């Protein structure tokens, strides 16, 4: 079973890595960095994965190009919202010594484990993947 502190470290670490990577992309104008994909699936199989284009979508969101961000990858909005909420939530729980993120995490795991929700999530990701491949990202 996953422990509370591991979930908090995991989310905190992911946020730090994401902010670091996006900062590197945002402040580095090198075309080499912008044209290289970190996506394992794209680099090995030469096929876009469901998350291909999220980094570019987040950069477009930061630049205020909301429609372009959605067209790049709609999941950019979900990740962008998570990158805003999670650090605040982690800090709040840590400072207040509460477990609200942990409780929400456990609730989300139970919810996603239900067959109906799992099918809906899989279908949405599948449709996003088909759309991403069709755009030729």
Going by C-alpha positions, the residue among 77, 98, 102 that lies closest to residue 11 is 102
**pLDDT at residue 42, rounded to an integer:** 78
Q: What percent of the chain has a predicted confidence (pLDDT) above 90?
A: 59
Q: Note the helical H segments in 28-135.
A: 31-35, 40-45, 54-62, 66-72, 75-96, 100-113, 115-135
Task: Extract the residue ranges of the chain whose pLDDT is less than 70.
Answer: 1, 29-37
pTM of the entire predicted model: 0.79
Provide the residue ranges of all domains of the chain, joining segments of one domain with +: 4-135
């Amino acid at each position: 079973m996953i422990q509370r502190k591991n979930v908090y470290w995991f989310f905190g670490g992911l946020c730090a890595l994401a902010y670091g990577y996006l900062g590197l992309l945002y402040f580095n104008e090198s075309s080499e960095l912008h044209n290289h994909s970190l996506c394992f699936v794209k680099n090995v199989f030469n096929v876009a994965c469901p998350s291909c284009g999220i980094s570019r979508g987040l950069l477009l969101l930061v630049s205020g190009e909301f429609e372009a961000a959605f067209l790049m990858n709609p999941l950019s909005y979900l990740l962008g919202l998570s990158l805003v909420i999670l650090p605040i939530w982690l800090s709040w729980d840590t400072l207040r010594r509460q477990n609200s993120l942990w409780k929400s995490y456990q609730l989300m795991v139970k919810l996603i484990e239900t067959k109906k929700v799992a099918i809906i999530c899989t279908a949405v990701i599948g449709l996003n993947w088909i759309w991403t491949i069709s755009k030729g990202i």
